[in-house]
């Protein structure tokens, strides 16, 4: 049940000499487009799809940080001196202001030479994009309490970083992605050298591509995903054949994931060199505990309890599996844990309501609060989707009757006057 979501980002540029005049091509972007996320903006999940999709990441966009190094390699102390949280979005992947590749190369393979060491650009990116407000305050427009809460400043002399807080409800959960090099990524630069970046590593120290060469981003999940399903098992040891009686509705008030042992806050360093290929570089993500709650408008409407002492009009829990969340694309997103067994306590509050016209109110209504601890063998790893399936086992009240046999006693004689 793993949904791996990715996108490939493309940059292309060229330069040539024509009658002693240098001409630069602008850096341009193109992306392998994922399918629709749950909502425009920061909240939601980005999932893999074909290249013909025209929504999702094109709508939300992604943010690019770029560093220019003059004749040397990337250094975090240089900061984002070439692009700072530049939004790339739309069907043609536009951004502003337009930027150009530096022209100083060792040899452009056409007779023009530059200094002994070529200029380089390094690109780090994240998604979904969150920018500044336009109200004049220049404040960060993301939530101050959940999801993406902050970015490093444009004056920072560190790697670009994204501050993140786990949302306790799926409605505001953010699927945070970061960009690395895809598999088998290489290109030819203007001095006819092959530039190769290891799969899963950041796109650092890129020299100017030759004409028509492209540079791609591959977006990976920096978080782990947790979903919930529910199904009924009525007079069965496993869900499937028997369904609930037509006069009974099984409805859910809430489900809680209690004291989940994960970090609630952390900072994603977009340069994952220190962690290795394909591994997100989380900093300051200290394990603690949090409780996740699914209730109210976050519940699937077909199983949601009305909250009143009345016959429920929704379908309720049946022997057909359903998503607990209101939307099939809703999930909890978590800061990853180590690859180790993790215990999770699940608590569900639900009602069993049965129509019965013989009763004063016309029905019976029983509240049930059930708790169980389960274990995830590998914890919550980045890019992995775990699912909790809640199986509600209900047993009908079965009645039997037997009639007591009469205990026949010995006859008792009564002497009455005898007629002669």
Q: List, run by run, the mean pLDDT of 10-residue segments along the chain (420 residues).
A: 31 28 47 34 44 58 93 94 90 83 66 67 93 66 77 93 91 89 84 87 90 76 92 81 89 94 95 96 91 93 92 93 88 91 93 93 93 91 91 82 84 72
Contacts of 401 (CB under 8 A, 6+ apart): none
Q: Are 164 and 33 in contact (CB under 8 A)?
A: no
159 and 249 belong to one structural domain:
no
Residue 410 domain-assigned (yes or no): no
Among 178, 193, 221, residue at a domain's last position: 221
Strand stretches in 312-384, DSSP E: 322-323, 332-334, 342-355, 363-376
C-alpha closest to that of 287 among 263, 260, 259:
263
Among 221, 250, 275, residue at a domain's last position: 221
Q: Are 366 and 351 in contact (CB under 8 A)?
A: yes
The CA distance from 317 to 322, in Å, is 8
Q: What pLDDT is recorded for position 16?
A: 26
> Which pTM was predicted?
0.81
Q: What would the two tokens of residue 108 be?
A: 């452009």
295 and 359 belong to one structural domain:
yes
The CA distance from 180 to 222, in Å, is 11
Q: What pLDDT is recorded for position 400?
A: 77
Residue 402 domain-assigned (yes or no): no
Q: What pLDDT is recorded for position 114?
A: 56
144 and 214 belong to one structural domain:
yes
Q: What would the two tokens of residue 183 be?
A: 């598999």
State CA 72 to chain mean position distance.
37
By the 10 Å C-beta count (0-12 exposed, 13-18 middle, 19+ buried), 97 is classed as exposed
369 and 297 belong to one structural domain:
yes
Q: How many domains does the chain have?
A: 2
Residue 155 domain-assigned (yes or no): yes
Half-sphere exposure in the Cβ direction for 213 (13 Å, CA): 22
Tokens 């022209």: give the residue: 103
180 and 34 belong to one structural domain:
yes
138 and 165 belong to one structural domain:
yes
The CA distance from 22 to 1, in Å, is 52
22 and 47 belong to one structural domain:
yes
Q: What pLDDT is recorded for position 136?
A: 59
The enclosing H or E element of 59 equals helix 57-60
Provide the residue count of the chain: 420
Residue 406 domain-assigned (yes or no): no
Residue 416 domain-assigned (yes or no): no
Question: Which residues span the domain enclosing 351?
Answer: 226-394
The CA distance from 114 to 335, in Å, is 45
Residue 19 domain-assigned (yes or no): yes
Residue 205 domain-assigned (yes or no): yes
């Amino acid at each position: 049940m793993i949904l791996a979501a990715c996108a490939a980002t493309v940059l292309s540029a060229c330069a040539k000499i024509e009658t002693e005049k240098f001409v630069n091509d602008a850096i341009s972007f193109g992306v392998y487009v994922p399918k629709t996320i749950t909502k425009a903006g920061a909240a939601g999940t980005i999932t893999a799809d074909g290249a013909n999709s025209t929504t999702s990441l094109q709508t939300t966009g992604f943010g690019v940080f770029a560093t220019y190094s003059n004749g040397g390699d990337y250094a975090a102390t240089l900061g984002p001196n070439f692009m700072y949280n530049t939004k790339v979005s739309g069907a043609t992947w536009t951004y502003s202001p337009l930027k150009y590749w530096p022209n100083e190369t060792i040899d452009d393979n056409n007779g023009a030479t530059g200094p002994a060491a070529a200029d380089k650009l390094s690109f780090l990116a994240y998604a979904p994009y969150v920018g500044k407000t336009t109200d004049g305050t220049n404040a960060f427009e993301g939530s101050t309490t959940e999801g993406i809460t902050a970015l490093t400043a444009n004056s920072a002399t560190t790697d670009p970083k994204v501050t993140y807080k786990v949302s306790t409800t799926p409605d505001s959960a953010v699927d945070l992605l970061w960009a690395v090099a895809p598999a088998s990524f290489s290109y030819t630069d203007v001095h006819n050298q092959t530039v190769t970046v290891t799969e899963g590593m950041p796109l650092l120290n890129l020299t100017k591509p030759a004409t028509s060469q492209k540079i791609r981003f591959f977006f990976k999940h920096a978080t782990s995903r947790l979903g919930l399903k529910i199904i009924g098992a009525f007079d069965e040891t496993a869900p499937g054949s028997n369904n609930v009686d037509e006069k009974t509705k099984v409805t859910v008030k809430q489900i809680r994931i209690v004291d989940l042992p994960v970090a609630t806050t952390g900072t994603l360093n977009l340069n994952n060199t220190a962690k290795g290929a394909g591994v997100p570089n989380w900093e300051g993500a200290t394990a603690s505990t949090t409780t996740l709650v699914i209730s109210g408008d976050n519940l699937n409407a077909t199983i949601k309890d009305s909250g009143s002492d009345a016959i429920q009009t929704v379908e309720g829990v049946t022997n057909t599996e359903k998503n607990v969340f209101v939307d099939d694309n809703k999930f909890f997103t978590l800061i990853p844990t180590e690859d180790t067994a993790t215990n999770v306590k699940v608590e569900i509050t639900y009602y069993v309501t049965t129509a019965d016209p013989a009763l004063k109110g016309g029905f019976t209504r029983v509240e049930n609060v059930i708790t169980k601890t389960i274990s995830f063998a590998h914890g919550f790893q980045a890019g992995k989707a775990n699912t909790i399936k809640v199986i509600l086992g209900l047993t009908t009240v079965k009645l039997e009757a037997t009639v007591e046999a009469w205990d026949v006693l010995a006859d008792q004689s009564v002497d009455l006057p005898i007629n002669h």
